[in-house]
Copies of this chain bind each other. A is one copy, B any other.
Amino acid sequence: MVRTILGVMLCLLFAFGVEAEAQQSLNLMPMPAKVQMGSGQLVVDPAFTVSISGHHEARLDRAVEIFLTQLRGQTGMPPIDMKVTDSATATLVIQAAGATKDVQELGEDESYRLDISISGARLNAPTTLGVMRGLQTFLQLVQTTGAGFAVPAVSIEDSPRFPWRGLMIDVGRHFIPIDVLKRNLDGMAAVKLNVFHWHLSENQGFRIESKKFPKLQTMGSDGLYYTQDEVRGVVAYARERGIRVVPEFDMPGHATAWFVGYPELASGAGPYQIERQWGVFDPAMDPTRKETYKFLDAFIGEMAALFPDQFFHIGGDEVNGKEWDANPKIQAFMHAHGLKDNNDLQAHFNQRVQKIVAKHGKTMLGWDEILRPDLPKDIVIQSWRGPDSLAQAAKQGYRGLLSSGYYVDLMWSAERHYATEPLSGAAASLTPEEQKRILGGEACMWSEYVSPENIDSRIWPRTAAIAERLWSPQDARDVNSMYQRLAAVSSWLDEFGLAHNSSYSRMLRRIAGTNDIAALRVLADVLEPVKDYTREETAPAPATSALPLNRMVDAVRPESTTARQFAEAVNELVAGTAKPASEARVKTLLNRWRDNQVDLQPQFEKSLLLSDVAPISQNLSALGAAGLAALDYLDRSEAAPGAWVAQQLALVEQAKKPQTQLLIMVAPSVGKLIQASAGQASSSSAPAK
């Protein structure tokens, strides 16, 4: 029996021994292009071996070594087990047809074919890159079984939909140490992302050592920067995982940290200090002085040698032009050169910088703002504006990347990111040739509100849904399947040392000042941080980079699984399609929420960080009570009195409002229950997710 299933949850029968095992799902993410289920399973035990045939290169050996280390970690095997062998009867036979490039290129072939039968597995790929991707698929297939560990018999043919699948990490606003970056590179490789976009300079920090201009880091970083040796280490680490590293040096704006050491680069009088708050600031490079370009030539030359990748990101976003307006020399320059506004001036700057970037052998990349027809067609636009902006660029012959819709700092649901399609809107009606110019996209981790402690929880697991959007066929859109696989992938990512799950309890324990966080967790599990830029907009005082990120809003997850599952159960209940178990589950949760305030109350006064949250806990308790009462009306098939309904819905509206930058995500579902108890259809709107 062989069947191909795409974009839906994959089910298969294991034949183990003579006994058919229960149906199990394949928790692959991103979903491969083509999956054919076989029958039976291949046991993965200490005698597991790998042989490497075909084209041989050091990078392939290293990929296999990384794979075996990971496989041993997942199964708890010691390092002297699971060996590489020359034998043709190895458990896993790897064959690569040819060599990878010395510097990984955009569009280099990442396809692979993985065939697993009960007697062995074969992984074939054009190059080591495809082998790397296939090995991650293999790791995702490993399951605890009645035979120990095993992978199911399956044939997979796979290749990515887009050649550029990235994750940007902003290390400027908050410095992120090397070890945290490395574990995130592991996570990227695990879900087949292939570009680490390293946002290295910002108003709040210049994060890399320049040997030519050392005051950049010594005066612009609070001592928080990467040495060039560390950078080389990250680039090598990424290469071992099939990941390109694209550096970004944002200019002419977002550059205050440069000016602390080199005020002559700026358009204002200076002196400058590292910015401590968030937002768009006035300082900008002076695009009219020759010395600016001389500096950039030397600096870009230094960085171009350090970062082997073909692409070089110059930022180019959010210049407010105030320093330009205020500088008479710049105004005179604009007049003399017929530059009619600041956009023209920035375009002039970009043209000159592009020539420098090109001189050093690199292709320029920048945010939407850099797009002007006077730049050569080989530059790439990264869009925070959306697919329409990308489509416009593509029509003009420019290549582009989508990042709008993939900003993981905005605390959206995985579903919403997953629904963000690069070839949608105006991009959907591009010609095939134009569509090819849309290279893919990048998840963006802007770091106003992330620390080394909680950054993983903002990136993962939601970025895996973005990775699937960029790798898998366009028709992989089943949200239920996505969430089920996302949960499995999230646990699997723990094995790479990512802290997105482990940091949660740790932060809650600190907030509570005790290990007894059962009640706090009940509350935290239904909360999410406010969405989009609400945190900034609702802050009681402007946040700074010195602000501790140790509050509930920093600890709770971007997306509440409890709230999502509660909403599903309530929807079924209201629609009359609920199973008894899900009604019981709704009741259990409502009871727990109602009673939780009593358990949590004694802890509030012991912790400042917790006392913050007291009103939210009271609201949750009230929601629990209201939901139970509504359920009671429903159970008795009795319409709730109008006055009661109105009163309870007012309570729900109150509970929906953000408090201390947190949202109670179950409030809308409780509202639905109340409306249903009145015999009304639900018209309650959910908070933006």
Contact = CB atoms under 8 A, between A and B. Distances in A.
Contacts of A512: 144
Nearest to A79: B224
A148 interface: yes
Interface in A608-660: 608-609, 611
Interface of A: 21-22, 46, 73-81, 143-148, 174-175, 222, 224, 451, 453, 487, 491, 494, 502, 506-507, 509-515, 545-550, 554, 605-609, 611
A78 to B, nearest CB: 6
B548 A75 contact: yes
Contact of A510 (B144, B487, B507, B545): B144
A143 B513 contact: yes
Contacts of A79: 175, 222, 224
Contacts of A550: 75-77
Nearest to A276: B80
A78 B451 contact: yes
A148 B612 CA distance: 11
Nearest to A549: B76
B148 A608 contact: yes
Nearest to A487: B515
A43 to B, nearest CB: 10
A448 to B, nearest CB: 12
A554 B507 CA distance: 28
Given A511-B144, A608-B146, A453 B222 contact: no
A76 B78 CA distance: 35
Given A73-B453, A76-B549, A494-B506, 11 more contacts: A75-B510, A76-B451, A76-B510, A78-B548, A144-B513, A144-B514, A145-B513, A146-B605, A146-B608, A148-B608, A491-B515
A-B complex: 3 closest residue pairs judged by Cβ atoms: A144-B513, A76-B550, A148-B608
Nearest to A512: B144
Contacts of A451: 76, 78
Contact of A78 (B21, B174, B502, B509): B174
A143 B606 CA distance: 10
17 contacts: A22-B606, A46-B546, A73-B453, A75-B510, A76-B549, A77-B548, A78-B451, A78-B548, A79-B222, A80-B224, A144-B512, A145-B513, A146-B606, A146-B611, A147-B608, A487-B515, A491-B515
A278 to B, nearest CB: 14
Given A515-B491, A546-B78, A144 B46 contact: no
A222 B80 contact: yes
Contact of A80 (B148, B491, B511, B545): B545
A461 to B, nearest CB: 13
B145 A80 contact: no
Contact of A608 (B73, B145, B174, B222): B145
Contacts of A174: 78
Contacts of A547: 46, 78
Nearest to A605: B146
Contacts of A46: 546-548
Q: Which of A74, A76, A224 gathers the greatest number of chain B CB atoms within 10 Å?
A: A76
Nearest to A603: B144
Contacts of A144: 510-514, 606-609
Contacts of A487: 515
A351 to B, nearest CB: 37
Contacts of A148: 608-609
A425 to B, nearest CB: 38
Nearest to A205: B80
A683 to B, nearest CB: 36
B145 A607 contact: yes
A447 to B, nearest CB: 11
A107 B635 CA distance: 75
Contact of A146 (B76, B146, B554, B607): B607
Q: Which of A74, A147, A506, A511 gathers the greatest number of chain B CB atoms within 10 Å?
A: A506
Contacts of A549: 76, 78
Nearest to A74: B510
A315 to B, nearest CB: 23
A512 B680 CA distance: 45
